[in-house]
Structure 1
Amino acid sequence: MQIMKHLWKEFPNEIRQWRYEKKQLLYGILLGLFICWLFYDRIFLIMFMAPFLFPWMKYQRKKKFKKQRENLRKDFREMMLLISNGLSVGYSMENALKMACAELKHQQQQDESLLVKELEMLTTSLKVNEPVDKRLLVMADRIQLEELAQFAEIVSIVRRNGGNLIEIIGKSADHLNQTMQIKEEIDTMTAAKRMEKKIMSIMPYGILLYVRLATPGYFENLYESIPGILLSTVSLALLAVANVWAERVVAIEV
C-alpha cells in the first residue's frame, strides 16, 4: 500500500519530466506499438502497456545520467592533470584553475561541458577574492561528483592545516588517471560482448518479424486463441528478463 501511495505521489513529477524527454518517450511509444502488433496483432493493447512507460523512461534517464557522469569524469581527469602541471611549474592554485578552465574551454570549442561552465563561474568568483577552497566545495556540491568532492576536501584541508599541495594533487591526478584507464581498458575488452548482447536482444524480434512478413497467417492461431496469447505474453516477459540480465552481466563497475 505504501508503494502505491509513493508511486501516486511521484506520478505528477514523472509526467512533468517527460516534457523534456520527448525523444525517449516517442521511442518508447513506437516500441510499444511494435510489440503489440508483433506479439498480439492488436495495436489497441498499447493502452494496457502504458504503465510500462514509467520503468522505460526511468531506464532511459538512468542511462543518460550514467553517460553524462562518465563524460564529466573524463573532463575532471583532464582538469586534474592540467592543475597538477600548472602547480608543478609554479602557478598558484587560483592561476592553475584559471589555466585549466581556459585550456578545457579551448579543447571543447562550442560544446562546453558542465564542468567548464562551473569552472568559469569559479574563476569569475576568484576575481573578487573569494577563497578558492570554499568555491571548490560549493562547486562540488552543485555537480555531485565524488572525485571532485574529494579534490575540494583535499584543497580545503591543505589550506587549513598546511601540506605539500603539489605532491598531493599530483598523486590524486595519477590515481584518477589510472582508474579511468582501467575503466577504458575494460570497456574495450567487453565491447565485443556488448555488441553480441545487442544483437542477441534484437534477434528474436527480427526472426518473428521476418516470419510474419514472409508467411502471412503463420501466427494466426497464436493471435486468436487464449493459449496463444498466454504463450506470447510469457515469451515477451522472458525476453524482457533476459535483456535485463544481459545488461547486468556486461555492466562492470570500477
Structure 2
Amino acid sequence: MKTIDILTENEKAVPIEERKGVDYARYVLNKNELYKYVAASYFSFFSVGYLFYKSFIIAMIIGLSSWKFKVLYEEYLGKKRRDQLLIQFKDLMYGISTGVNNGGNIKEALKNSRENLVRLYSEDGYIVKEIDYMIHAFDNAKMYESDILYDFANRSALEDIRGFIDVYVQCKTTGGNLQKVIMSTIEVIMDKMNIQREIKVIVAQKQMEGKIVAIMPIIVLAFLNLVSPSYLSPMYDTLAGKIIMTISLTGFITAVIWIFKIVNWK
C-alpha cells in the first residue's frame, strides 16, 4: 500500500519527501545529525587508530572507515524511535477505546485523545504528529477510513499497531462488539509489552557489562601509553608488534559490533 500524500495547495510547495508520512521502518539521519555523527565517529575511530598504530596516516584511514557504521547507527535510532512510538500508541489505544465506547467514530476519538497526548508527549510527540496527519487525511481526502489507518500501520513497521488496526477494521466491517474486542486486544498488547519490558530489564545489565568489556582494551592501551610509553614501543616499531595490534584491533571491532547487536536485540 502506498504512503498517503494528502495536502492543501499551499502545502504542496513542500518537497514531496517531506510531505509523506514518516516511514518508521527506515531511519535516515538529517543534516544536523549527520554532521554530528561524522564528527563524533571520525574522532573516535581516528583516536582508536592512533592508539593502536601511533601513525597519523593509518589513523586517518581508520577514521574514514567510520562511515561504514552509519547504517548500524541509523538502525539503532530507528529501533529507538519505533519503541517510543509504540509506548505512545499504547495511550492512544485507550483514547480510541473510550471514544468508541461513547458512540464516536475514529476521527472523533483521535481528536479527543490528542489533548491528553500533547500533555504527555508535547506537540513533537510521534503519536501526536501521526494523529494530526490522520485527522488531516480524514478532513481533506476522499479515502476510506481503513486506508488511512492501514497507511499508519504499514509505516509504523510495528506488529502490535498493525494487529490493533486489523482488529478495529475487521470489527467495523463485520459489525462485531467493537468495544469488547478492542479492550481484549489492548490487554493482549499490554501483556506483551510488559513481558518485553521485563526481558529488557534483565538484558540491560548484560548489555552494560558487555559495553565495559568492549571499551576496556582502549582504556588499558591509553593508560599504558600515558604512564609507560616505552613499554609498548615494540608493538609500534616492529612488524610483529603491528601484526599483533592489527589482530587486537580486529577483535575489538568484532566485540563492539557484537555489543551493538545486543543493544538492538528484538
Q: State the TM-score, normalizing by the size of structure 1.
A: 0.82
What's 2:210 paired with?
A: 197
Work out whether residues 87 and 93 of structure 1, in 8 Å CA contact, stay in contact via their aligned partners in 2: yes
What's 1:185 paired with?
A: 198
Measured after TM superposition, the shift of residue 215 of structure 1 is: 0.8
Work out whether residues 134 and 156 of structure 1, in 8 Å CA contact, stay in contact via their aligned partners in 2: no
Partner-residue secondary structure (3-state), 1:81: helix
Work out whether residues 82 and 96 of structure 1, in 8 Å CA contact, stay in contact via their aligned partners in 2: yes
Q: State the TM-score, normalizing by the size of structure 2.
A: 0.79
What's 2:254 paired with?
A: 241
Q: 1:18–1:219: structure 2 CA closer, same or farther, 3 Å change rule? A: farther
Q: Choose 234-243 or 41-50, whichever is displaced more.
A: 41-50
CA–CA distance in 1 between the matches of 2:29 and 2:77? 14
CA–CA distance in 1 between the matches of 2:152 and 2:178? 19
Q: 1:249–1:106: structure 2 CA closer, same or farther, 3 Å change rule? A: closer
Partner-residue secondary structure (3-state), 1:219: helix
The runs of 5 or more residues in structure 1 that have no matched partner are 1-15
User: Is 1:114 equivalent to 2:126 in the alignment?
Assistant: yes
Q: Which residue of 217, 220, 230 corresponds with 2:230? A: 217
1:48-101 CA distance string (max 9 Å, x none): 325632331111111111111110111111111222233334443332222222
Amino acid at match of 2:201: T
CA–CA distance in 1 between the matches of 2:252 and 2:106? 54
Work out whether residues 222 and 232 of structure 1, in 8 Å CA contact, stay in contact via their aligned partners in 2: yes
Q: Choose 152-161 or 234-243, whichever is displaced more.
A: 152-161
Q: 1:238–1:177: structure 2 CA closer, same or farther, 3 Å change rule? A: same
1:132-170 CA distance string (max 9 Å, x none): 323212332343333323333333222222211111211
Q: Choose 87-96 or 116-125, whichever is displaced more.
A: 87-96
Matches within 5 A, 1:1-254: 19=31, 20-49=33-62, 52-110=65-123, 112-127=124-139, 131-248=144-261, 252-253=265-266
CA–CA distance in 2 between the matches of 1:75 and 1:212? 48
- Sequence identity (%): 24
Measured after TM superposition, the shift of residue 233 of structure 1 is: 0.3
Work out whether residues 72 and 115 of structure 1, in 8 Å CA contact, stay in contact via their aligned partners in 2: yes
Work out whether residues 18 and 25 of structure 1, in 8 Å CA contact, stay in contact via their aligned partners in 2: no
Structure number with the bigger relative contact order (C-alpha 8 A, sep ≥ 6) is 2
Work out whether residues 40 and 223 of structure 1, in 8 Å CA contact, stay in contact via their aligned partners in 2: yes
Q: How many residues align?
A: 237
What's 2:5 paired with?
A: none
The runs of 5 or more residues in structure 2 that have no matched partner are 1-27
Q: Choose 226-235 or 49-58, whichever is displaced more.
A: 49-58
Measured after TM superposition, the shift of residue 247 of structure 1 is: 4.2
Amino acid at match of 2:240: P
RMSD: 2.4
Work out whether residues 126 and 132 of structure 1, in 8 Å CA contact, stay in contact via their aligned partners in 2: yes
Amino acid at match of 2:66: L
Q: Choose 166-175 or 189-198, whichever is displaced more.
A: 189-198
Work out whether residues 155 and 165 of structure 1, in 8 Å CA contact, stay in contact via their aligned partners in 2: yes
Measured after TM superposition, the shift of residue 42 of structure 1 is: 0.6
